[in-house]
Amino acid sequence: MVLPVGNDRTPLSWLDDVAEQRRAAGLRRELRPRTPAPAAIDLASNDYLGLVRHPEVIDGATAALRRWGAGATGSRLVTGTTTEHELLERELAEFVGAESGLVFSSGYTANLGVVTALSGKGSVVISDAGSHASLVDACRLSRARVEVAPHGDRDRLREALATRTEERALVLTDSVFSADGDLAPLREMHRLCREHGAVLIVDEAHGIGVRGDGGRGLVHELGLAGEPDLVVTATLSKSLASQGGVVLGAEKVRAHLIDAARTFIFDTGLAPAAVGAARAALGVLRREPERATAVLERARDLARMTGVDAPESAVVSVVLGDAQRAFDAAQACRERGLHVGCFRPPSVPEGTSRLRLTARATITPDELATIEAILAEILAGAPA
């Protein structure tokens, strides 16, 4: 199509309009490269156990890099699987009490892969409204009928399962929700799934390394590990200080994903260095399970400083309401040497923009004192 003479609009001019609307609403985002040795105290990353710079983790990555090279060289089914990948899968499965594991290139692709491979036409997918964006997108790609249950609403889940007409049903939830840090009622959800012949898929991205015995996750903590109608997904990029994702469950689920999960079949395998780093981080966590306890202790410290309820996870959510107010508060913290997360719509509902503080096991007493002084100053000027 040729634009009319004198018309300065182009097919992408709508992007300018949208950008201006976001700017006016305080919702523009920008990339902020960090330095190799950041000067700020970090309460924004998901390095819950403080292992990103741990010497053993770095050594694990470099050893795998030197042995296998920089890239996976192909998909897992062609040349992208190494013995390192299979060792990591077995070690992760044993750690969380699952029968088997399958490593993907990211937690996002793990969720897309498992949901789409286990659903499809003639099935229903019921997802908690607070589920991670990767599970939301998995629902959209599933070709199944999708129902979104209000956050934590077990009555609605029961109704959706009881009235379904489809033979197959999946129920999706985070174990620890990333915005508020609250826990899913997994025992009750699993009971309902079992009563109605459904499979429960639990994203433990924020649970592994934080909840359960030695950081084995909320599923393990609640005695649900290894249940045949429950599948766990997780990321390697948070507590395990690396990159990648994993699906953990029955061996027949693993076999089916190898045959049917498009994000496994058609994606390049996880780079060997990331695999080596994750294996080393898991080794440190096994040897030092007290790191998981320390994360929750530091989270309680942060909650006390900000006047919010003691959290059940590493996430401390300080709701300020207005998006611009939350952004300005995060900027003010940054200027004072404290890096905090800022969650605004669409990550959270309108009117609930917030500072999101993530605890780290290795925060020192001196850092805690500095954090408390900065937060007291900033929050006094930005009341909830």
Q: What's this model's pTM, rounded to 2 decimal places?
A: 0.92
Which run of H or E residues covers position 370?
helix 365-380
Domains of the chain: 55-287 (3.40.640.10), 289-380 (3.90.1150.10)
Residues 181 and 316: their CA atoms lie apart, in Å, by 7
More confident residue, 64 or 180: 64
Query: Residue 196, exposed/middle/buried by CB under 10 A (0-12, 13-18, 19+)?
Result: middle
Q: 48, 91, 93, 103: which is closest to 280 by C-alpha? A: 91
Tell whether the model's pLDDT for residue 287 goes beyond 50.
yes
- Residue range 5-23: mean pLDDT, rounded: 86
Report the pLDDT averaged over residues 46-52: 97
How long a stretch of residues is the chain? Answer: 384
pLDDT of residue 118: 98
Max distance between CA atoms of the chain, in angstroms, equals 71
Mean pLDDT of all residues belonging to the chain: 95
By the 8 A CB rule, do 58 and 242 touch?
A: no
Residue 211 near residue 175, CB atoms below 8 Å: yes
Taking 70 as the threshold, does the pLDDT of residue 323 lie above it? yes
Question: In angstroms, rounded to a whole number, what is the distance separating the alpha carbons of residues 315 and 250?
Answer: 30
Residue 34's pLDDT band, with cuts at 50, 70 and 90, is: confident
Average pLDDT over residues 236-257: 98
Express each pLDDT in 128-169 by its tens digit: 999 999 999 999 999 999 999 999 999 999 999 999 999 999
The pLDDT value recorded for residue 159 is 97
Query: pLDDT-derived band of residue 266, with 50, 70 and 90 as boundaries?
Result: very high
Say how far apart CA 340 and CA 327 lie, in whole Å: 10
Alpha-helical (H) ranges within 79-211 are: 83-96, 107-118, 133-141, 154-162, 186-195
Sign of the dihedral defined by the CA atoms of residues 87, 91, 94, 97, in that order: negative
Res 19 pLDDT > 90: yes
Compare 242 and 39 and report the one with higher pLDDT.
242
pLDDT confidence of residue 1: 47
Average pLDDT on 195-222 reads 98
pLDDT at 233: 98
What is the predicted pLDDT for the residue at 383?
52
pLDDT score, position 31: 85
Encode pLDDT of 179-206 as tens digits: 899 999 999 999 999 999 999 999 999 9
Quickly count helices (H) and strands (E) in the chain: 14, 11
Instruction: Check if the beta carbon of residue 54 is closer than 8 Å to that of residue 371.
Output: no
Q: What is the mean pLDDT of residues 9-27?
A: 91
Whole-angstrom distance, CA of residue 107 vs CA of residue 245: 4
Nearest to 190 by CA among 149, 161, 163: 161
